[in-house]
Amino acid sequence: MTAAPGTDDAIARRTDEIISGLIGLEGPLLPIFHALQAEYGHVPAAALPPIADRLNISRAEVHGVMSFYHDFRSHPAAAHVVKLCRAEACQSLGADQIAERAQEKLGTGFHGTSADGKVTLEEVFCLGLCACGPAAMVDGKVVGRVDEARLDQILKEVRA
Amino acid sequence: MKVYVPRDAAARALGADEVAAAVLREAKARGLEVTLVRNGSRGMVWLEPLVEVETGGKRVGFGPVTAADVAGVLDGTSKKVLGPVEELPFFKGQTRLTFARVGLTDPLSLAEYQAHGGLEGLRKALGLTGEAVVKEVTDSGLRGRGGAGFPTGIKWETVRKAPGPQKYIVCNADEGDSGTFADRMLMEGDPFCLIEGMAISGIAVGATKGYIYIRSEYPDAIEVMSAACEIARKEGVLGASVLGSGKAFDMEVRVGAGAYVCGEETSLLNSLEGKRGIVRAKPPLPALQGLFGKPTVVNNVISLASVPVVMAKGAAFYKDFGLGRSRGTIPLQIAGNVKYGGLYETAFGLTLGEIVEKIGGGTHSGRPVKAVQVGGPLGAYLPVAQFDTPFGYEEFDAKGALIGHAGLVVFDDTADMRKMARFAMEFCAIESCGKCTPCRIGAVRGVETIDRIGRGDVAAIPLLTDLCETMKDGSLCALGGFTPFPVMSALRHFPDDFTAKAKEAAE
Ligand SMILES: Cc1cc2nc3c(=O)[nH]c(=O)nc-3n(C[C@H](O)[C@H](O)[C@H](O)COP(=O)(O)O)c2cc1C
Ligand code: SF4
Ligand code: FES
Ligand code: FES
């Protein structure tokens, strides 16, 4: 009997496969989290017990590691993720105003999702695009020189 | 005809992929035979996407190119023509040792890598004893480019001498400092150079395994480095017998997960081991008990990528560049509100003013420069009055500043330095690993205190100074320990930004 995808059982089974593919690595935990997040868009709670079992660490430890890192989500993000750089080099070119405008337009703060449920807004501290800021990452794609017009265009595209 | 369109993340962020697609489209429409090379960036970010067209062995640059410019670029009639890139003043003034190939070659062509001097250093190292390799690196005067400036050769010697069958080379590619992108550019533009540097390090100290810990914010670097490792393995540069020497060295790419503190070497090791990125107390030194408790070299990307040229050309050649105890070259990353932003590799010793005004051309906004933050979020803000400071480790230290990973972030006169000080504390609070109270709690108090000052309560200024002292003295690592640098430098050099509100109220 195969469990329906998305059920805890199915997630636990899939997690087990992912672990089997990575457990040969030295220090496999972060690669496992990355693989889960790539597959599910977040690290589902149902994935944690099998990780604890197979890596022979406590569930508290698994949870502790996961929650330490800003990247790993415990809940799915919206279909689109807009990350805005808030670090110094981008601030010197007006990133604060861009951040404010984005929050206003989306009706959400950072780490939140827009009222229409389409876009998750996140902050990031430096994308290595500091000579062409303000910088953003839109669904994994880097964007430089994000002025108001560019931001509006980005938001229009992800909300279309 | 060969057309180069950078695949560097900054070029892509400015439309290089669209330009590359347009090149292929236009070539097809005209029945032109075009070889498209996705090279690294030449480092002149204000000219990106910088396209080069090679005909008859000559390369001509164009930039910044949009898809609409492509037809003219292929005809050679585009007004965006720059001429030979090497002749542009920004490029011509540089001494490119570590970045010699970046932007010049196809990053994933091992043949081109070797045609431009690649693997010479590794070949030389394989013919020497580990001790001799380490001595060469020590004699070159190379110091860690990740921030602390510790002599690379001395670190390697500790690992070389440490007993143990299993040792590691760990490359720190976490590059979290705002204003820095040298590691990213090198990994995206010349990945074999880093692989070669790590292999030399492994051969020298007796380590057979290496890891590159790349931050997750760098998907392009992760992609290029991973592909390069695979090619290097296939071609026998990595593996059981490096270049047929019988000596083993292999390596893997690992991806971070959005924690700034994981750039701190012991936190990074914990993260690699699959733990929370909490900073470890030192001693023990990672050189003696590092990854999984084994002797480990932890070096920054640029430190390791500078080793091949040191080995190929010799310690004396490298050491000849520089100033005082800062030897060799440093890839300056000129960023923020600056006219000509990008990467500029040069010998140590230029003054801050020369870098910002002459090379960087002043601000992007055209307004006067107010301050330059050097060395990332833990680095001091320097006012124009300190523009005579020469770029060197000791020279910056003497001014209560640091060069860190050599990123420079320029601010114009609209910057509010109280706000920047507040951000430094906020960043520390967000990124603290949580181990020490002065860092974890102090940074939160710091934000509150700076807010009080912002509301006009000047009596809170001495509290801020005290708090910074506590953080400096009571923090285990430089996150808590150095956050006072940007805060106190802002307060010291720009007191008016802190007292503006109080003055306003008094009037
Ligand atoms: C909070 C913090 C963040 C750091 N981030 C980095 C980094 O991103 N890259 C890096 O190479 N070194 C970073 N360092 C410095 C490392 O701890 C270490 O000194 C360096 O990796 C050693 O390599 P090097 O000798 O080649 O510079 C950081 C240090 C601290 C305290
Ligand atoms: S200073 Fe901050 S980041 Fe560093 S060890 Fe202490 S709590 Fe962790
Ligand atoms: S500070 Fe925004 S990309 Fe570096
Ligand atoms: S190490 Fe004890 S307070 Fe930081």
> In the sheet that B2-4 helps form, which strands lie side by side, from edge to edge?
B35-37, B2-4, B51-55, B58-62, B81-83
User: Do B141 and B221 sit in the same domain of this protein?
Assistant: yes
Judge whether residue A3 has pLDDT over 70: no
Residues B330 and B308 in one domain: no
Domain spans of chain A, in order of start = 8-68, 80-159
| Cα–Cα distance measured from residue B197 to residue B300, given in angstroms and rounded to the nearest whole number | 11
Distance from CA of residue A16 to its chain's centroid? 22
- First CA to last CA distance, chain B: 70
Residue nearest to atom 1 of ligand 2 (CA): B480
Residue B39, domain CATH: 3.40.30.10
Q: Which residues are CB-contacts of B130 (< 8 A; sequence separation ≥ 6)?
A: B160, B203, B204, B205, B206
Span B85-141, pLDDT tens digits: 999 999 999 999 999 999 999 999 999 999 999 999 999 999 999 999 999 999 999
Neighbours of B44 (CB within 10 A): 23
**What CA–CA distance (Å, rounded) separates B454 from B268?**
36
The answer, for A77 touching chain B at a CB cutoff of 8 Å, is: no
Whether residue B45 is contained in a domain is answered as yes
Nearest Cα to Cα of residue B49 among A153, A152, A85, A145: A145
On chain A, the residues whose CB falls within 8 A of the CB of B14 are 132, 144-145
Q: What is the pLDDT of residue B506?
A: 75
Which range of residues forms the domain containing residue B139? 110-319
Dihedral angle, C-alpha B99, B101, B106, B110, nearest 10 ° = -110
Interval between CA B473 and ligand 4 midpoint (Å): 9
Q: Give the C-alpha separation, B112 to B108, whole Å.
A: 9
Distance between CA B406 and CA B135 in Å, rounded?
Answer: 26
At residue B455, the pLDDT reads 95
List the CATH number of the domain containing B250: 3.40.50.11540
Whole-angstrom Cα distance, residue B139 to residue B124? 16
Q: Does the global pTM surpass 0.80?
A: yes
**Mean pLDDT calculated for residue range B163-190:** 97
Q: Are B155 and B274 part of one and the same domain?
A: yes
Check if the beta carbon of residue A68 is closer than 8 Å to that of residue A61. no
Whole-number pLDDT of residue B500: 84
Q: How many residues does chain A have?
A: 160
Please name the CATH architecture into which domain A80-159 falls: 3-Layer(aba) Sandwich (3.40)
Mean pLDDT, chain B, as a whole number?
97
Percent of chain B exceeding pLDDT 70 equals 100
In terms of Cβ atoms closer than 10 Å to its own Cβ (0-12, 13-18, 19+), residue B163 is exposed
Q: Is B257 part of the contact surface with chain A (CB cutoff 8 Å)?
A: yes
- Beta-carbon count within 10 A of B46 CB: 18
**Ligand 2 atom, smallest distance to B439 CA:** 2
User: Do the domain assignments include residue B480?
Assistant: yes
Q: Is B333 on the interface with A (CB under 8 A)?
A: yes
Q: What is the pLDDT of residue A1?
A: 45
* Alpha carbon distances (Å) from B182 to A141, B90, B189: 20, 16, 10
Alpha helices in B219-264, H assignment, sequence order: 219-234
Residues B59 and B39 in one domain: yes
- Return d(Cα B410, Cα B403) in angstroms, integer: 14
Tokens 């695949």 belong to B7
β-pair partners for B170 = B211, B298
Please determine, for residue A2, whether its predicted confidence score (pLDDT) is greater than 60: no
Query: In the predicted model, what is the mean pLDDT of residues B289-312?
Result: 98
CB neighbourhood size of B283 (10 A): 9
Q: Give pLDDT, residue B367.
A: 98
The whole-angstrom separation of Cα A28 and Cα B506 is 61
Q: Are B372 and B417 in contact (CB under 8 A)?
A: no
Q: Is B408 helix (H, G, I), strand (E, B) or coil?
A: strand
Q: Is residue B119 located within the same domain as residue B249? A: yes
Across the range B192-207, mean pLDDT stands at 98
- Across B201-211, b (16+ Cβ under 10 Å) vs e yields bbbbbbbbbbb
Segment B185-211 shows an average pLDDT of: 98
CATH number of the domain that B398 lies in? 3.10.20.600
- How far apart (Å, rounded) are the C-alpha atoms in residues B440 and B475? 9
**B165 and B257 inside one domain:** yes
Residues B125 and B222 in one domain: yes
Dihedrals phi, psi of A91, to nearest 5 degrees: -60, -35
B6 φ/ψ angles, rounded to the nearest 5 degrees: -55, 145
pLDDT in tens, B470-492: 999 999 999 999 999 999 999 99
Q: Chain B: give the shortest CA distance to residue A99, in Å.
A: 14
Q: Report the alpha-carbon distance of residue B98 to residue B108 in Å, rounded.
A: 17
Helix, strand, coil share (%) of chain B residues, nearest 5: 45, 15, 35
How far apart (Å, rounded) are the C-alpha atoms in residues B108 and B12?
17
CA-CA distance, B113 to B102, in Å (whole number)? 10
Per-residue confidence band for A6, with pLDDT thresholds at 50, 70 and 90: confident
Q: Domain total for chain B?
A: 4
Residue B100 lies inside a defined structural domain of this protein: no
Q: Whose CA is nearest to atom 7 of ligand 1?
A: B263
B487 close to B424: Cβ distance less than 8 angstroms: yes
pLDDT, one tens digit per residue, over B261-274 is: 999 999 999 999 99
CB-nearest to A130 from B276, B335, B420 is B335
Residue B412's pLDDT is 98
Q: Is residue B285 part of a domain?
A: yes
ipTM: 0.96
Same domain, B247 and B361: no
Band of residue B505 on the pLDDT scale cut at 50, 70, 90: confident
Q: Does B426 touch chain A (CB under 8 A)?
A: no
Cβ atoms of B443 and B483 within 8 Å: the answer is yes
Claim to verify: residue B312 and residue B166 sit in the same structural domain: yes
Ligand 1 mean position to B290 CA, how many Å? 14
B218 burial class (0-12, 13-18, 19+ CB within 10 angstroms)? buried
Indicate whether B157 and B52 sit together in one domain: no
CATH of the domain at B491: 1.20.1440.230
Q: Are residues B309 and B192 in the same domain?
A: yes
Contacts of A26 in chain B (CB under 8 A): 272-273, 292
How many angstroms does the Cα of residue B72 sit away from the middle of ligand 3? 33
Strand B209-214 vs strand B168-173: parallel, antiparallel, or unpaired?
parallel
Task: Say whether the peptide bond before residue B283 is cis (omega within 30 degrees of 0).
Answer: yes
Position B502 confidence tier, pLDDT thresholds 50, 70, 90: confident
